[in-house]
Structure 1
Amino acid sequence: MRRALTFATVVITAATLVAGCDSGGSDRAAAPAPVPSTAPTSAPTTAPPSAEPAPTASAKPKPQKLKNGAKGAEVLALQRRLTELGYWNGEPDGKFGGQTQQAVFALQKAAGLGRDGVVGRKTQKALDNGVRPKAKSTSGRVVEINLKRQLLMLVDDGEVSQVFNTSTGSMEHYEQNGGTFLADTPSGRFRVSRQIDGWRHAPLGLLWRPKYFNGGIAVHGASSVPPYAASHGCARVSISAMNWLWKNDELPLKTRVWVY
């Protein structure tokens, strides 16, 4: 049971730095105005040297970033690489949508990068280097929820087989039935004890196909799974990810769940 708390929530505000850049070009220098000659008309005249533009270095094009809405062969290659590394993103189709963005979030979390869901230089390097999270369990099937990284992992005999972006307890306070409670996801070792195959209209919101492992705390599908802790205590995954977990019976009853 969660404990009622009375102290205030600390709000952290991040400042945004906006940088600008200056662009310009070099034009051919204007020809000087003609000066009347004082030499005899029969004397040869010397033409002024022509002004040549200074050579400019050609700018190296920046690599194209891949983000939500992108399509094509590069996206298909990205999806296949994510799948190869175990970051669940459905069937590769060459379209950068919500599933792919969730997988990129998970990769960025595992690599300790900024979580913007965009594949830039650093995220591409993490892909190339094959960055994957490590498991703590060593035997059997265990669902591991890493609170620091905000990752949910399926682990088999110590090997991570699938990685999901998750969003757990926000550690903020909320009001319910006249009491004030902390939205936390307690650490510990649990087991999936019950499940609902459909929508659960819970007092604090909608849960899609929840798998409960600690009282009213569950792994469940949600329409919003940001790359940071935002829930009342459950571990959210995307609707499509939860459907895949159910379809393939990846979290049957009595499955061990480690939260740390």
Structure 2
Amino acid sequence: MAALVTGTVILSSSGGASAAAGVPAFPAAAVETAAQTGTASFTAPGKTLKPGAKGAAVKVLQRRLKELGYDPGKIDGRYGGATMSAVWAFQKVNGLKPTSTVARRTWNALEAPRAPKVLVPRGKPTRAEVNLATQVMVLYVDGQVKLISHVSSGSGIPYCETANWQGKTQRFCGDARTPTGDYKTTWRRDGWHKSYLGQLYNPIFFNGGIAFHGALSVPLTPASHGCVRLPMHVAEVLPDLLGTAVPVHVRGKFVR
């Protein structure tokens, strides 16, 4: 993850099947339910699912999430971490308390889902929006929702850490904050990128040293030094969907 520090910007770390295909055409001026946006009707199997579950009902869940723009990873009928992160994102967008369990309320929402809240109604047709309040990132491409992902942003907890950087032992301090504002994507790296405070996977920078990047830990609460952590399978596909000089809008505030 990246963090802003007094006098400098430092970086830190944490840390498929592509969502580019088969996602819906939710308009940027999103309306309340998928039925209103033309998404095909869906009847939930209603079976309670938890991580580790296997079978046809899991595959139905995965296909529905992908249809709505969430990336559940490989559609294989296995409820693993990738599917869980997509469930979290869906639940948060639909006003449900995020939980790894898919039960009646989540199935009901999957039958009549909400589109994600538009943070910048007059934004460019292709842009990324980060909602810090819900810890969700939405990527719009040509005015359509292309990808919705669970994220973990800056924890807001001040830190000081010692790291070996450029052959020297240095101490870095910051407030672990992901600033709100309007930015644009800049440089990026493929694979693991070593930063001041660790490793970032497939980072795409948009505000100095602050980037979208894959992480091995993407909890439900903000936990990074400032970057926007993504599930690893989302970080695999995002570079092909999010180009350079694309607007990135960060809004909201997470309340613990």
Distance verdict in 2 for CA 1:207–1:179, change over 3 Å:
closer
- Is 1:165 the counterpart of 2:167? The answer is no
SS at match of 2:224: coil
Count of residue correspondences: 200
Structure 2: gaps spanning 5 or more residues? 7-45, 162-169, 252-256
Question: Which structure dedicates a bigger proportion of its chain to strand?
Answer: 2
Of the candidates 166, 190, 200, which is equivalent to residue 197 of structure 1?
A: 190
- Is 1:90 the counterpart of 2:73? The answer is yes
Q: Which residue identity lines up with residue 81 of structure 2 in the other structure?
A: G
Residue-by-residue CA offset, 1:140-193 (whole Å, 9 max, x unaligned): 210111110100111134432210010000111110455642111001111111
1:220–1:235 CA contact under 8 A, matched in 2: yes
1:137–1:158 CA contact under 8 A, matched in 2: no
Q: Which residue identity lines up with residue 194 of structure 1 in the other structure?
A: W
1:167–1:237 CA contact under 8 A, matched in 2: yes
Aligned counterpart, 1:257? 248
Q: Which residue identity lines up with residue 130 of structure 2 in the other structure?
A: I
Structure 1: gaps spanning 5 or more residues? 5-62
What is the correspondence of 1:233-252 to structure 2 with a 5 Å cutoff?
233-246=226-239, 249-252=240-243
Of the candidates 122, 126, 132, which is equivalent to residue 141 of structure 1?
A: 126
- Is 1:226 the counterpart of 2:219? The answer is yes
SS at match of 1:102: helix
Once residues 212 and 199 of structure 1 are traced to their aligned partners in structure 2, the CA distance between those partners, rounded to angstroms, is 14
Q: Which residue identity lines up with residue 192 of structure 2 in the other structure?
A: W
Higher relative contact order (CA 8 A, sep 6+): 2
Once residues 177 and 246 of structure 2 are traced to their aligned partners in structure 1, the CA distance between those partners, rounded to angstroms, is 22
Once residues 195 and 121 of structure 2 are traced to their aligned partners in structure 1, the CA distance between those partners, rounded to angstroms, is 31
- Is 1:181 the counterpart of 2:166? The answer is no
Q: Which structure has the greater CA radius of gyration?
A: 1
1:134–1:160 CA contact under 8 A, matched in 2: no
1:107–1:132 CA contact under 8 A, matched in 2: no
1:192–1:211 CA contact under 8 A, matched in 2: yes
Q: Which residue identity lines up with residue 170 of structure 1 in the other structure?
A: S
Aligned counterpart, 1:212? 205
Q: CA RMSD in A?
A: 1.8
